[in-house]
């Protein structure tokens, strides 16, 4: 084995090593997502490929939640776009980590699975990002995410309804784990999180607005509140 080949193998193994804790976390979260998919009427195979082809926790949950309430295809597509909009920014930042002579095929393959956690370990690497490092992390994380979803669906078909309902709450813990630390650091995040909860309840109680589908209300509130947050509390360039 040549020295160059050994170096490439070492980089790939480093990616797999760093992907193990991410994959284990994905497995736990996707199991709860699978419970939600089961409640929405998806089977294990559908859940597996849904996670394999999307690899997006919040985006998948938003899409599945809208499927559960019989939202239109347009509403599902728009909500998924909004929920995953942050990946546009991550992808732009990640593209700057590649060497200028990195082939387009590698950029496209990495773009298949730009997640918060994989982005985090990739952007933290010193120097240019080797695609093989990212592939190693993906090879561990993505299958565990997909397998966890399928097992969650299967468990939802076997476990008692009361336990399935209790396990469904686990996914909300993921969102709390994301929102609470950010809300503690930034009062604007806390303000708009509470405002989103209040507005969501208010819209569901108002006579006319309550007749609008839950998915459409979610899209409208997400766009309006995020635009308001960006206008009233813009982030300074040095904070980005």
Dump pLDDT digits (tens) for 174-225: 566 657 777 788 888 889 889 988 988 888 888 887 777 666 677 788 778 8
pLDDT of residue 141: 92
Give the angle subtended at the CA of 108 by the CAs of 85 and 28, to the nearest 5°.
60
Q: Is the dihedral of CA 123, 124, 127, 128 positive or negative?
A: negative
Decide: pTM greater than 0.75: no
**What's the mean pLDDT when you consider all of the chain?**
83
Model confidence at 126: pLDDT above 70:
yes
CA 166 vs CA 32, 35, 36, 175: distances in Å: 10, 10, 11, 16
Q: What is the pLDDT of residues 8-30, one digit of tens each?
A: 889 999 999 999 988 888 888 88
Between residues 30 and 238, which one has the greater pLDDT?
A: 30
Q: How far is the C-alpha of 131 from the C-alpha of 101, rounded, in Å? A: 12
- What tokens were used for 195? 């405002």
- Give phi and psi for 234, each to the nearest 5: -65, 145
- The answer to whether 192 and 156 have CB atoms below 8 angstroms apart is no
pLDDT of residue 175: 61
Q: How far is the C-alpha of 132 from the C-alpha of 18, rounded, in Å? A: 13
- The answer to whether 51 and 149 have CB atoms below 8 angstroms apart is yes
For residue 118, the tally of other CB atoms under 10 A from its CB is 24
CA 143 vs CA 107, 134, 148, 207, 213: distances in Å: 20, 14, 8, 45, 34
Model confidence at 171: pLDDT above 90:
no
- The answer to whether 52 and 173 have CB atoms below 8 angstroms apart is no
pLDDT interval class at 46 (50, 70, 90): very high
For residue 163, the tally of other CB atoms under 10 A from its CB is 13
pLDDT of residue 135: 96
pLDDT interval class at 164 (50, 70, 90): low
- What tokens were used for 218? 């979610």
pLDDT of residue 133: 95
- Of how many residues is the chain composed? 240
DSSP state of 42: -
CA 71 vs CA 2, 62, 196, 202, 210: distances in Å: 56, 11, 21, 20, 14
Q: Is the dihedral of CA 56, 85, 116, 215 positive or negative?
A: negative
- The answer to whether 98 and 107 have CB atoms below 8 angstroms apart is yes
pLDDT interval class at 238 (50, 70, 90): very low
Model confidence at 237: pLDDT above 60:
no
pLDDT interval class at 134 (50, 70, 90): very high
pLDDT interval class at 82 (50, 70, 90): confident
Q: How far is the C-alpha of 2 from the C-alpha of 89, rounded, in Å? A: 38
Model confidence at 173: pLDDT above 80:
no
């Amino acid at each position: 084995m040549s020295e160059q080949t050994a170096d490439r193998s070492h980089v790939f193994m480093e990616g797999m090593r760093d992907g193990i804790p991410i994959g284990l976390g994905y497995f736990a979260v996707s199991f709860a997502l699978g419970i939600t998919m089961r409640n929405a009427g998806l089977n294990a195979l559908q859940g597996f490929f849904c996670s394999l082809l999307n690899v997006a926790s919040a985006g998948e949950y938003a899409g599945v939640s809208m499927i559960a309430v019989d939202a239109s295809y347009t509403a599902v597509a728009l909500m998924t776009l909004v929920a995953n909009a942050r990946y546009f920014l991550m992808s732009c930042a990640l593209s700057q980590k590649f060497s200028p002579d990195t082939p387009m095929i590698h950029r496209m393959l990495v773009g298949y699975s730009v997640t918060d956690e994989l982005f985090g370990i990739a952007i933290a690497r010193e120097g240019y990002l080797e695609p093989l490092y990212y592939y190693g992390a993906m090879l561990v994380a993505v299958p565990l995410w997909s397998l966890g979803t399928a097992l969650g669906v299967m468990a939802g078909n076997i476990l008692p309804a009361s336990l399935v309902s209790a396990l469904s709450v686990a996914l909300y813990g993921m969102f709390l784990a994301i929102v609470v630390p950010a809300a503690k650091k930034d009062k604007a995040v806390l303000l708009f999180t509470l405002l989103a909860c209040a507005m969501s309840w208010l819209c569901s109680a108002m006579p006319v607005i309550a007749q609008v589908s839950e998915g459409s209300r979610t899209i409208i509130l997400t766009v309006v509140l995020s635009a308001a947050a960006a206008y009233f509390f813009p982030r300074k360039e040095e904070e980005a």
